[in-house]
Amino acid sequence: MMEERPPIIVRRVRKGHHAHGGAWKVAFADFATAMMAFFLVLWLSEAATEDQKEAISGYFTDPVGFEQGGSPYVIDLEGSVTVTVTQDTAGKPQDQPDVRMREDTIQDLAAQLEQQKLTRLMQEIMTQIEKNPKLNAFKDQLLLDITDEGLRIQIVDKRQRPMFDSGRSELRPYFEDILFELAKSIAKVRNKISVSGHTDAQPFLGRDNYSNWELSADRANAARRALVEGGLPEGRMARVVGLASSVLFDEKEPYNPVNRRISILVLNKKTQEDIEDAEHADSAYSTPDLLEELDRTLDRQGRKPEFDPDKDLPVDDKPAPNADGLTW
């Protein structure tokens, strides 16, 4: 009997033509859209004026600055805002919007920047005092603070370590060294300087016609000379004054040695302008100018005075007539 074998199954795959998917349609749509956009850009470029083309170029050069500084509409499409870009810095197109900051805002920003500059200078000097042996030995006599007028550096006196001999305006050598070191840091900023001399309330009795006013002024000038020798330009001096005991450091104890001091003020811009304006105001009018202004004022008021010896002189001062009846 023959053994049965399993049947052999042959599977034939018929090859035929199947339909493609829809991916090509998406790609073709993207291509058609891109071509439409391209031809639209060509048409707009042909229709745009030269100024509008410059505006388009400016937008693609700096989009952020363009949007912050003007209108986001590059081309005028009948009703939108037109932005005109020009290279002429002297003139401004009439249709370009103004971008202005308030003057007080600018002044506030400038004052803040200057305040930061003076604060950095104060920190630099304080660091120098800590690191420099000459300054560190006198750090308890060096007082720094920021005021409304600028950075104030005060060098106060002590009984054990005075800046000056009693009644003298010559600086002790070690205080000259202190001013030399301070001048190096102060010279790094362009602000002008005011130097003031102060005394305590003890009257000066050393010389005739010489008081604490003259003494404080002479001491302020001695400090000025030391700063200039230390490297501070002479032209940076805005004011050197002697204040005697009119501005006491310790008002409760007028005779306290700390009232004898030198104040160095690194002026801020506002204080410097106030000083310059005051100087200009003092020299604005000469005596003839003032007399002419007085005459004009009296003329406007209709009461210009005229000298009449019969009315304006006392009886005893009136000139007596001579033999011819004339008065002299």
Average pLDDT per 10 consecutive residues for the chain, totaling 328 residues: 67 60 80 88 79 75 58 49 50 52 67 82 89 86 90 88 84 90 89 92 84 93 94 93 92 89 91 82 57 64 54 51 47
Write down the residue that tokens 């310059």 correspond to.
276
Give the model's pLDDT for residue 179.
Answer: 93
pTM score over 0.75 = no
Q: What proportions of the chain, in percent to the nearest 5, are helix, strand and coil?
A: 45, 10, 45
pLDDT at residue 328, rounded to an integer:
43
Can you tell me the distance from the alpha carbon of 206 to that of 199, in angstroms, rounded to the nearest whole number? 14
pLDDT of residue 82: 47
Residue 77, both tokens:
């499409």
Q: Which two tokens stand for residue 284?
A: 């604005």
DSSP reduced 3-state for 102: coil
In the prediction, which pLDDT does 220 show? 95
Pairing relation of β-strands 193-198 and 237-242?
parallel
> Taken in order 253, 256, 262, 267, is the CA torsion positive or negative?
negative
Scored b (16 or more CB within 10 A) or e, 282-301 reads eeeeeeeeeeeeeeeeeeee
**CA-to-CA separations, 182 to 132, 154, 231, 232, in angstroms, rounded:** 11, 11, 9, 9
d(CA 44, CA 234): 65
Q: What integer pLDDT is reported at residue 24 of this predicted model?
A: 81
